[in-house]
Amino acid sequence: MKLREDEVRVPSPAGDIRTVVIAPAGAGVLPGVVLYTDIFQLTESTLRTARRLASDGFVVAVPEIYPHGELAGVALEFDDAGKARGLEGAGSTSTAQFDADRVAVLDYLEQRADVSQLLVTGFCIGGHLAFRAAFDARVAATVCFYPTGLQTGGLGGDVADSLSRAGDIQGRLMVVFGSRDPHVPADARLLVVGALYAAGLDDVELHVYQGGEHAFMRDVGVRHDPVLTDLALAEAVSFFRGR
C-alpha cells in the first residue's frame, strides 16, 4: 500500500508540536490514531511501526512528546546517553503539560477531514500517555503497549493521578505487557489490573505475552521479538476495528 507522510506543526498553548502524520494515499476517510512514542521520540523505529499501522487503514499522527524544550526536533539514539536525555525530558515535563499537549493533538486529528473517529496507542511512557488520553470522551478505543509508571504515578516531573482516574475512561481499553518486563513486573501488573477492575473497567482486554521483555516491539536491539510484535500489532488492529 502506498502511504503519504507529512510533517505538521500542531498548535498548542505552549507552542507548536512537531507531528508526523502517515496515512494510506487516496484512501478517503479513515479512523485516526494518535501514536505516542517511547522516551526516544520520533525515531525511524517508531515511524516504521506507525507506517505498519497506517497500512492497515488508519491515519496515524505521531507527535513529539517533548516538543517545547531542548529536545524539540530531536530523535534520540538507543544508547545510554539517549536514554538519559529522554528520562531528563520526562522529568522536566509536568503531567499538566503532557495533558495539554494531548488535547491539542486530539483537537488537530478530530478536525481533519479524512478522520472519522479518534483512537490512541503508545509504547512505554507513550503507553502511559495513551492511558491518560483515554480520559478524553472523544477517544473510542485505546491500546497501551507495556505502559510504564501506571503503578506508581511515574510519568513526568510530578506524580500522575492516572490509575485513580481509570473510571474516567469511557472508550474501550486494551493493555499489553511482556512477562519479563522489569519496569512492569508481575506485582505491578496485578496492581494495575486490580485498579482497573476496581474502577469498574471489567471489560478491559489484557494481554501478557510470555517471554516479552520491555520494548519487545522496538525493532532495534536484542530485546526485539518479531513474532510477538506481529501478534501484538494484529491484536491492536483487530481491537481498533471493534473485532
Q: What is the CATH classification number for the domain harbouring 209?
A: 3.40.50.1820
pLDDT at res. 27: 84
pLDDT at res. 225: 97
Instruction: Give the pLDDT of the chain (243 residues) as one tens digit per residue.
Output: 899 999 999 999 999 999 999 999 988 999 999 999 999 999 999 999 999 999 999 999 999 999 999 999 999 999 999 999 999 999 999 999 999 999 999 999 999 999 999 999 999 999 999 999 999 999 999 999 999 999 999 999 999 999 999 999 999 999 999 999 999 999 999 999 999 999 999 889 999 999 999 999 999 999 999 999 999 999 999 999 997
Domain count, the chain: 1
Nearest Cα neighbor of 115 from 51, 32, 34 is: 32
pLDDT at res. 202: 86
Span between the terminal Cα atoms of the chain, in Å:
22
Question: How many other C-beta atoms can be found within 10 angstroms of the C-beta atom of residue 189?
Answer: 20
pLDDT at res. 148: 97
pLDDT at res. 209: 98
Gap between the Cα atoms of 99 and 76, Å rounded? 22
Residue type, 171: G
Domain that holds residue 88: 3-240
Based on the residue annotation, tell me whether 6 is a catalytic residue of this protein.
Answer: no
Based on the residue annotation, tell me whether 136 is a catalytic residue of this protein.
Answer: no
Catalytic residue among 128, 183, 207, 214: 214
Contacting residues for 147 by C-beta, under 8 A, at least 6 apart = 122, 124, 125, 127, 128, 130, 131, 175, 184
- In 3-state terms, what secondary structure has residue 115? strand
Q: Which three cell numbers stand for residue 137?
A: 470522551
Give the sign of the dihedral formed by CA 32, CA 51, CA 231, CA 162: negative
Based on the residue annotation, tell me whether 144 is a catalytic residue of this protein.
Answer: no
Do 132 and 162 form a contact (C-beta atoms < 8 A)?
yes
Q: Which three cell numbers stand for residue 103?
A: 488535547
Do 216 and 180 form a contact (C-beta atoms < 8 A)?
no
Half-sphere exposure of 169 (CA within 13 A, CB side): 29
DSSP letter for 76, please: P
Catalytic residue among 124, 144, 207, 225: 124
Gap between the Cα atoms of 42 and 46, Å rounded? 6
Catalytic residue among 38, 56, 101, 181: 181
Chain-centre distance of CA 221, in angstroms?
20
